[in-house]
Amino acid sequence: MAEAHQAVAFQFTVTPDGVDFRLSREALKHIYLSGINSWKKRLIRIKNGILRGVYPGSPTSWLAIVMATVGFSYCEVDISMGLVCCIQRCLPERCGPYQTPQTRALLSMAIFSTGVWVTGIFLFRQTLKLLLSYHGWMFEMHGKTSHFTKIWAIGVRLLSSQRPMLYSFQTSLPKLPVPGVRATIQRYLESVQPLLDDEEYYRMETLAKEFQDKTAPRLQKYLILKSWWATNYVSDWWEEYIYLRGRTPLTVNSNYYVMDLVLVKNTDVQAARLGNAVHAMIMYRRKLDREEIKPVMALGMVPMCSYQMERMFNTTRIPGKETDVLQHLAESRHVAVYHKGRFFKVWLYEGSRLLKPRDLEMQFQRILDDPSPPQPGEEKLAALTAGGRVEWAQARQTFFSSGKNKASLDAIERAAFFVALDEESHCYSPDDEASLSLYGKALLHGNCYNRWFDKSFTLISFKNGVLGLNTEHAWADAPIIGHLWEFVLGTDTLHLGYTESGHCLGEPNPMLAPPQRLQWDIPEQCQAVIESSYQVAKALADDVELYCFQFLPFGKGLIKKCRTSPDAFVQIALQLAHFRDKGKFCLTYEASMTRMFREGRTETVRSCTSESKVFVQAMTKGPHVKADLQNLFRKASEKHQNMYRLAMTGAGIDRHLFCLYLVSKYLGVRSPFLAEVLSEPWRLSTSQIPQSQIRMFDPNQYPNYLAAGGGFGPVADDGYGVSYMIAGENTIFFHVSSKFSSSETNAQRFGNHIRQALLDIADLFQVPKANN
């Protein structure tokens, strides 16, 4: 596809008479409008920075205080208690030719009013931070709220109801506390007790006590010092050492996927669906830039940290030989697109105007209709992002540091996000159980060279109009991309819409310059590296067994009749299913969030507890009285819920031990206890997928507008990865992954055990179920 001549601002020709310049007025006009748009964004950021900085104050409140001070002064009432007079005496006597007693008095009152205003803002923030540091409300029984918590809730509602911007509460959020070493070790030993025999437990207890008495106090002091200095004592190390320093391929090991609405379909036209989705994403980005998105609030009043949203767009993971880095740009006006082995650059704006969905549909259709073949080495180029990180870093430095390769790579890495136009079709058909699993596999790794795994996310468009996401994990966790995805699906369905023939609404502008084909010069040596990376990624992808299914007998509604939390219900069912699958218990990872703290990300809930072990053994070792099983289940459920609350409130186990381990490495201190803890494999890694963060769909009005959530690859070679979404009142979606190379695991077998475990636990409480 030829490059657009309109993109050239001027051309020149050397003639015998001199140099002949030819200016393009249209191009200059676009450059001018682009500059105006950039300045508008800068001014918006400056304005938002000021408004965020003085929240909950505002220019209006400052003016009101000034007017009140002046008004009382006019009535000869000195509300400043003499401070205005003191300020007036401190002012220079001759500040200008118009300095009069009246103006000096007004200036003094303005200074006093500003001081009152700033002091009020400071007290507000400190009071809110103090209130948000209280987490006792999480540990109170439902319906048994204490008087103290009720008063606390009133205070929080009063202080957090001032129409906040996205980042208004950031400075009011408390810091993540550093737990005590003794408490962390006690909780750790409690978590491994159901997994060890008496001899193994005694050995671990001895190691833990030795660490607690000898090594830990010194390490803890450094960690507390970091917590005083840094905004969050975990998050920067977690991002660097868990994600960016990882040298294994991102595909399967790190990136995760997100699915589309699976029970309804808006259009079959691939380019049209993509046009609406891309337009909705840029609308979301504009709201993000302007901080017009409301902060996520627990219980509708406790603000969650929003810092992870900053790097959602215009972000790429850049490979390095020892560690990767996240490159985030303030602005990007295009997306990079892959189709049939070719890369394209598609502009999102015409001048300062965001392209309409119909214009974007036309641009994507132009790419679909383009018959040009891939250039040598271009087709599998993205496999470099799917293979080993060291190999990609070396190839990037050797073959992509200059010339047209660098320019084209910059176009991809500096894009708002990456778009993959696939030639195959995928969707969920309830009559075809395998369809959901095939859809998930396509999103998780594709063919290993049609996703740019380094981008913050790849928007995937299948031939039948179904969409999905493949998301890089370092920049943020799943709830963040879930927030964007809910907005996109809701905007696409409820606000943008389609014509009867399935196209975007409106008329396209045929004068738009066509998408720009990226140019490459890839030598044979580089092609060999690309092929090697592809083979590594393909081996990983081929080894992944993914089993996705919709559990139909019941959902959240009937679980609540068991008087337990839906998450605890599912987690205990997973323990029962795993024991039936392998005949033993294992270290289990469940991700919880710590976003009630500033720059908080996640903490681990160790779901295999002594209480859940007792319940599972009772369920599998012969007949028991149903009332006894119910009692054991409730004990296990209460234990799980308490552990989840502890993790959310900064009293978890694993992040604290992880940071102590890093400090020991920095200091050159050897700790057998920490080395063993950090090497323990998570053979069952689980995560609940968030939903309804924005609540764009009314479940009563749109009961079938359900996304199926998403999933990830297994963490351990001989383990399982399980993600689940409790999708409303009547259904649950599961995504189970394992590796074919392990003789101990089988994703479909484990999925069937999960189904049966859910039914068996429901039978304990005689919960009526729909037909399976």
Residue 17 phi/psi, 5° resolution? -85, -5
Q: Sign of torsion, CA 216 219 223 224?
A: positive
Phi, psi of 68 (to 5 degrees): -65, -45
Q: Please check whether residue 326 is in contact with residue 317, taking contact to mean a CB–CB distance below 8 angstroms.
A: yes
DSSP helix/strand/coil, 178 = coil
Helix (H, G, I), strand (E, B), or coil: what is residue 543? helix
Amino acid residing at 307:
Y
DSSP string, 470-503: EE-SSS--HHHHHHHHHHHHHHIIIII-B-TTSP
Handedness of CA 88, 92, 93, 98 (dihedral sign): negative
The amino acid occupying position 527 is Q
At CA 134, angle to CA 130 and CA 139, rounded to 5? 175
Q: Among 397, 411, 388, 273, which Cα is nearest to 342's?
A: 411
Pairing of strands 342-347, 315-318: unpaired
List, in order, residues 6 or more apart from 184 with CB less than 8 Å away: 653, 656, 657
473, 503, 578, 656: the active-site residue? 473
CA distance 213 to 216: 7
Cα–Cα distance for residue pair 707/264, rounded to 1 Å: 9
Other CB atoms closer than 10 Å to residue 717's CB: what's the count? 14
Q: What does DSSP assign to residue 248?
A: S
Amino acid at 452: W
Q: Quick check: 382 and 395 in contact, CB under 8 A?
A: no
Residue closest to 597 by CA, chosen among 239, 181, 179, 232: 232
473 tagged catalytic: yes
Contact 20, 12 (CB under 8 A): yes
Locate tokens 């990456």: which residue?
Answer: 418
Contacts (Cβ under 8 Å, ≥6 apart) of 343: 336, 337, 378, 381, 408, 411, 412, 517, 518, 520
Distance CA 500, CA 590 (A): 45
CA 211/CA 189 separation, integer angstroms = 13
Strands 684-688 and 720-726: parallel
Using an 8 Å Cβ cutoff, are 140 and 148 in contact?
Answer: no
DSSP state of 330: S
Is the preceding peptide bond at 56 cis, omega within 30 degrees of 0? yes
Catalytic positions: 473
